[in-house]
Amino acid sequence: MQVTCDPYHKEFELNNQEKRVGKLIVGFFVCPNCNRKYTVYLMDAQAIAAKEDSERVPKLAGG
Ligand SMILES: [Zn+2]
């Protein structure tokens, strides 16, 4: 998926990232041209936990 920051920027590949803010998970991407951050979605951390549990994503072994 490609997006454009504004009419003056070329398209760039979406680089979704997530960060936790309080009890919310914020999904966002950063424009590589101007480093502007765009929020894509907000999700409740409890919903995230339930989702992760259902997917059972294996975590990296950390000792
Ligand atoms: Zn930009």
Within-domain flag for 15: yes
Within-domain flag for 63: no
4-47 tens-digit pLDDT: 887 766 777 877 899 998 889 899 988 888 888 888 889 887 77
Neighbours of ion ligand 1 (CB under 5 A): 5, 9, 31, 33-34, 36
Within-domain flag for 42: yes
Total tally of structural domains belonging to the chain? 1
Within-domain flag for 62: no
CA of 18 to the centre of ligand 1 (A): 19
pLDDT band at 50 (very low <50, low <70, confident <90, very high): confident
Within-domain flag for 51: yes
CA of 51 to the centre of ligand 1 (A): 32
By C-alpha distance, which of 12, 16, 14 is closest to 27?
A: 16
pTM score, two decimals? 0.58
For tokens 């907000």, name the residue. 42
Give CA separation, 57 vs 7, 23, 34, 38, in Å. Answer: 39, 20, 33, 26
| Domain region containing 22 | 2-55
Within-domain flag for 43: yes
Within-domain flag for 20: yes
